Amino acid sequence: MPGTSAASTALVAARGARPTVTWAAVAMAAIGRTDTEENMESTGQLRRRFPRASEVARFVGPTFRRHKTGRWSRVRTVSDFQALARRRTPMSVFDYVEGAAELELSKDRAVAAFDRVVFSPHVLRDVSRVDASTTILGRTAALPVVFGPTGFTRMMHAGGEAAVARAAGRAGIPYTLSTLGTTSIERLAAEAPTTDRWFQLYVSKDRGRSSEFVARAAESGYTTLVLTVDVPVAGARHRDVYNGLTFPPSLTGRTLLGMLGKPRWLFDALTTEPLAFESLGAAQDVMGLINTVFDPSVSLADIDWLRSQWVGAIVVKGVQRLDDALDIAAAGADGIAVSNHGGRQLDRAATPLELVPSLADAIGGTAEIYLDGGVRSGADVAAAIAFGARAAFVARPYLYALMAGGEHGVDHLTRLLHDDYVRTLKLLGITRTADLNRDIVSLMPT
């Protein structure tokens, strides 16, 4: 302005004259840049520009777009199944699966033992193809896994034993029906005809009843008899006592409240066949039934007695000592399952994973050794095989999967176990189950 002095110009600036604002300055401010920083970078190597709307949309769009994922996409571990199972079943039912005897130390130690496993992998090996299969008692299995016996399975989900057996058949692994099953020997054979079916036997005080079970299993095409020997009496399972668990579950005030909170489970329980032990009939006091019906006088001589009636393989389950294993192998058993019954019988019992190496060394080729207890992943299975087991029994994990999502849940579990097992073999630089050995695995001391 003509005639304006330098002093007046300075005064106008001091009173807050507005500076000129450009779109470039706005853009730089939006991304936290100053003119000084921009000028510095424009003279160096980094040059910036204002992004187009389509470019911004590529980054922002996925945030607001609905993702289409499968039902099981976020279920990756047995712990995930466990969490779902807890939400979908009454507390008394979940606790029956989750619980164990007394302080539950045996159960927890069996799981924790796998945390001490140390793998020593090979490298620079061609692992583009891996054979996860093995042979179990002379028959091919797609994975060195056996689904072990569990009682009351239809209490966990209406699909029950048949759902688990069908999933096992699709996965190419054996399934074991329990004496305390809620599906009959014959019905399971009809509903899972292609599955390698095993039958688990508790010897009854009435030997005629046990003989009947053995004959029915043979007539129905079961291949293996699993003689469980660690239940002379029922273990002290405190959770079941606290929850007032009966079988079938009775509608006391406490249990009814828990069941009403799980409407899907309750609807299935009320609209499907009433729960009962298919082999032993109805019972309210489950532990009392065990103490009344099961024979605490079972001995090595009973292996010979069973052999006289059964032409298939015999596996003795519940072994926790080397001297017992040697006696059982000498008595003619085809397999020995190193097991503390999932911690549900004797608390503070031996940990199966710690016993397997010595038993495998001592028994040699006389009988196959199986690990039963603590397995929660395919990597656990690989560790068990490397320590000398022929296969690993899996039970609680498939019950969690069944409670979480029925038969589809068990299918998903078998896929996870297979994928985890194959991935572990590849990371170990091994291409066959037969190549797993103690050279690649060790157990950290406690």
Domains and CATH numbers, the chain: 21-68 (no CATH), 78-443 (3.20.20.70)
Consecutive 10-residue runs of the chain (446 residues): their mean pLDDT?
47 46 48 52 71 78 63 93 96 93 96 98 98 98 98 94 98 97 96 98 92 97 98 90 70 67 87 80 62 87 95 98 97 97 96 97 93 98 98 98 97 98 98 97 94
Distance of CA 398 to the CA centre of its chain: 6
Active-site residue flag, 341 = yes
Annotated catalytic residue: which of 157, 341, 412, 418? 341
pLDDT number for residue 2: 47
Q: What pTM does this model have?
A: 0.85
Predicted pLDDT at 27? 47
